[in-house]
Structure 1
Amino acid sequence: MKRFTLLTLLVGFCATLQAQTVMVGGEAMYPKKDIVSNAVNSADHTTLVAAVKAAGLVETLQGDGPFTVFAPVNDAFENLPEGTVEALLKPEAKAKLQAVLTYHVIPGVLDFKALKAKIMEGKGKAVLTTVQGAKLTFMMNGEHNILVKDAQGNVANITVYDVYQKNGVIQVIDSVLMP
């Protein structure tokens, strides 16, 4: 009887652990790792990781947080006007790159449930302040789809929700947000 109980508990624990581990960019994102330690393994976020390194934000995103990071995939960067990424990665553009990247970060942990609650409180939209200091607007598009609108009116879809980290949560998005 004790073996069965122990086995049942172990199977339940493994199922819980698996439910918390999300696949992003073909790699597991572990909730016990920090945002940068997980992001560097995602094949979908190589441009974002290169930008974070060029901006000198690695230590910040490895810090205690908590942070909610709206993480654009590589395709999102490729959809920017030609030469934009290259220009932002130049050392002389470091301040501008930092502004763009910190515009993708909101203090605290905002998972799907929290974002949806803020949108409902705001009667259909939530306007939240980023670490950069500018605003992002969040809206529902269906029962389980949240849109993010930047200051220029561009809209991103959250494509992968609630990738929990030890210092926050990542929400994967399909467009780069611009302050």
Structure 2
Amino acid sequence: MKSPLTKLFLGLCMAFSMFSFAQSNVPRTKTIDSEHHKILLEAVKVTEMEEILEKSGPFTIFAPSDAAFERFSIEKIKELLNSQDKSALKSLLTYHIVAGHLTASRILRAMCRGNGKASFTTIQGKKLLAHMDGYDIVLTDPIGNTARITSADLNLKNGVVHEIDSVILPTQM
């Protein structure tokens, strides 16, 4: 017999999946909001990943807002953006990207199949763990840092973007 908490979680998964499916039928052709993602867009430009992201895919991008980067450390970001060696910045960016089109409902379905947790491999090759905290999908990096999805399912021509409230790290930086 399943516990009441498990039943509640499964019910929430089903309800959110149906809501997300209904929302996904609305066609959207937006781009990442340049007013809230200036640092991210600059990092993509500096690492010369624009063409890869535009011509390959589909990708799921967990996009830290400027406020998330500023909490990470604006000094560290400036150092990464201005460094001659772009490998650390590219590593950071590729840790925020997963191959495939993972809508919020697909992430939730994976968590339902995984008893409340799901693991996704970034294009960098490291894992992100997703779980629920209340109504929020939370991502956890290998170090234990977490990021909440604050805005989900911004569909692009070659993928989907989920805005997150923190920068997640592949390793200690």
Shared fold (TM-score greater than 0.5)? yes
Percentage of pairs with the same residue: 39
Residue of structure 2 equivalent to 1:140? 132
1:160 offset after TM fit, Å? 0.5
Q: In structure 1, which of residues 111, 122, 125 is the aligned counterpart of residue 114 of structure 2?
A: 122
Distance 1:139 1:91, change over 3 A: same
- Give 1:46 shift: 0.5
Whole-Å separation in 2 of the counterparts to 1:151 and 1:88:
21
- Maintained 8 Å contact 1:54/1:91: no
Q: 1:108 aligns with which of 100, 104, 114?
A: 100
Aligned residue pairs, count: 148
Deviation, structure 1 residue 102: 0.3
Alpha-carbon distance in structure 1 between the residues aligned to 2:41 and 2:104: 23
Q: TM-score, normalised by structure 2?
A: 0.80
Quote the offset at 1:91 in angstroms.
3.7
Instruction: Tell me the distance in 1 between the aligned counterparts of 2:69 and 2:163.
Output: 13
Seen in structure 2, the aligned counterparts of structure 1 residues 113 and 82 have a Cα distance that, compared at 3 Å, is closer
* Unaligned segments of structure 2, at least 5 residues: 1-22
Contact 2:47 2:89 in 1 (8 A): yes
Per-residue CA deviations over 1:28-64 (Å, capped at 9, x if unaligned) read xx25xxxxxx22x520000100011111111111113
Give the TM-score of the pair, scaled to structure 1: 0.77
**Quick check: 1:154 aligned with 2:145?**
yes
In 2, the alpha carbon distance for the partners of 1:19 and 1:129 equals: 28
Which one of the candidate residues 29, 43, 58 is aligned to 1:66?
58
Per the alignment, residue 87 of structure 2 pairs with 95
Compared CA separation, residues 112 and 82, structure 1 to 2 (3 A): closer
1:92 is paired with a residue of what secondary structure?
Answer: coil
Q: Distance in 1 between matches of 2:132 and 2:121?
A: 18
Structure 2 SS opposite 1:98: helix
Whole-Å separation in 2 of the counterparts to 1:164 and 1:122: 25
Q: CA deviation at 1:76?
A: 0.6
Q: Deviations over 1:3-27 (max 9, x none)?
A: xxxxxxxxxxxxx9x9444xxxxxx
User: Is the contact between residue 156 and residue 175 of structure 1 (CA under 8 Å) also seen in structure 2?
Assistant: yes
In our comparison, the structure showing a higher alpha carbon Rg is 1
